[in-house]
Amino acid sequence: MVVVADMVSDKGIVVVADMASDKGMVVVADMASDKGMVVGADMASDKGMVVVADMASDKGMVVGADMASDKGMVVVADMANDKGMVVVADMASDKGMVADMAGDKGMVVVADMVGDKGMVVVADMVGDKGMVVVADMVSDKGMVVVADMVSDKGMVVVADMVGDKGMVVVADIISSHG
Give the pLDDT confidence of 120-154 residue by residue, as tens digits: 333 333 333 333 333 333 333 333 333 333 333 33
* pLDDT value of residue 16: 32
The CA-based angle 136-40-77, given to 5 degrees, is 80
Q: What is the pLDDT of residue 100?
A: 32
Q: Give the strand order in the sheet containing 155-161.
A: 97-100, 107-113, 119-125, 131-137, 143-149, 155-161, 167-173
- Mean pLDDT (the chain) is 32
- Cβ neighbors of 84 (< 8 A, separation 6 or more) are none
Beta strands per DSSP E along 48-165: 49-55, 62-67, 73-78, 86-91, 97-100, 107-113, 119-125, 131-137, 143-149, 155-161
pLDDT of res. 137: 33
**Across residues 9-32, what is the average pLDDT?**
32
Mean pLDDT over 15-27 rounds to 31
Model pTM score = 0.20
Q: What is the pLDDT of residue 87?
A: 32
- pLDDT tens per residue across span 63-104: 333 333 323 223 333 333 222 233 333 333 333 333 333 333
CB 65 within 8 A of CB 121: yes
